[in-house]
């Protein structure tokens, strides 16, 4: 009887932890994963194989799942990486999909017109995206980079009224 009460109490505490802890499910999945990996390593060791050969014991479903996971990793282009070979190839594929049928390919004048139209569309699209300048070009430059510019703006905001006389004297050349 006492043993049954202990097991019941343990089950109640386990259920309470499951319901209150938001990371419980993830933690249990991680624990299951590691126990499964340890079991796999033990099986491989018993059969005299390296851990490199664990794919030999995967089912077709597991192999398909890992292949899909690897295929899902989508390389996003950004910054300096915009003109890499993958992104250029993707752009090429997009343009090929837009190509009309074989009737245009047979007539060279239609093909030239289509190419000119495509170039014009790309120029229009490029003109839509323009970078806003963060600074005023007519303003005097008193900084060497963006961080220094912000620092100078803070100084001017806090100490500008005190330093205006010194600045004017420096400009005139009558500073002490």
Q: How many domains does the chain have?
A: 3
Task: Give this prediction's pTM.
Answer: 0.33
Q: Are 6 and 55 part of one and the same domain?
A: yes
Domain interval for residue 10: 2-72
Distance CA 160, CA 175 (A): 17
Same domain for 124 and 65: no
Predicted local distance difference test score (pLDDT) of residue 34:
92
Helix ranges restricted to H, the chain? 2-20, 24-47, 60-72, 85-98, 102-106, 108-128, 146-172
Q: Is the pLDDT of residue 35 over 90?
A: yes
Q: Quick one: 66 and 11 in the same domain?
A: yes
**116 shares a domain with 61:** no
Both 160 and 111 in one domain: the answer is no
Instruction: Give 99-158 pLDDT, tens digit per residue.
Output: 777 665 667 787 788 888 888 988 888 888 766 666 666 777 778 888 998 898 899 899
Same structural domain, 20 and 56: yes
Question: Are 56 and 17 in the same domain?
Answer: yes
Q: What is the pLDDT of residue 73?
A: 64
């Amino acid at each position: 009887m006492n043993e049954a009460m202990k097991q019941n109490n343990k089950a109640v505490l386990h259920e309470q932890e499951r319901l209150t802890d938001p990371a419980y499910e993830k933690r249990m999945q991680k624990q299951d994963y590691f126990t499964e990996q340890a079991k796999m390593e033990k099986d491989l060791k018993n059969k005299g194989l390296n851990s490199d050969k664990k794919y030999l014991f995967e089912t077709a479903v597991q192999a398909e799942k890992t292949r899909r996971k690897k295929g899902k990793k989508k390389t996003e282009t950004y910054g300096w990486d915009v003109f890499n070979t993958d992104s250029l190839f993707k752009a090429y594929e997009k343009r090929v999909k837009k190509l009309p049928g074989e009737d245009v390919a047979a007539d060279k004048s239609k093909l030239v017109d289509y190419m000119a139209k495509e170039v014009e569309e790309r120029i229009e699209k490029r003109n839509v995206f323009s970078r806003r300048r963060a600074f005023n070009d007519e303003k005097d430059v008193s900084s060497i980079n963006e961080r220094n510019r912000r620092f100078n703006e803070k100084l001017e905001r806090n100490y500008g009224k005190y330093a205006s006389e010194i600045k004017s004297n420096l400009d005139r050349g009558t500073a002490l």
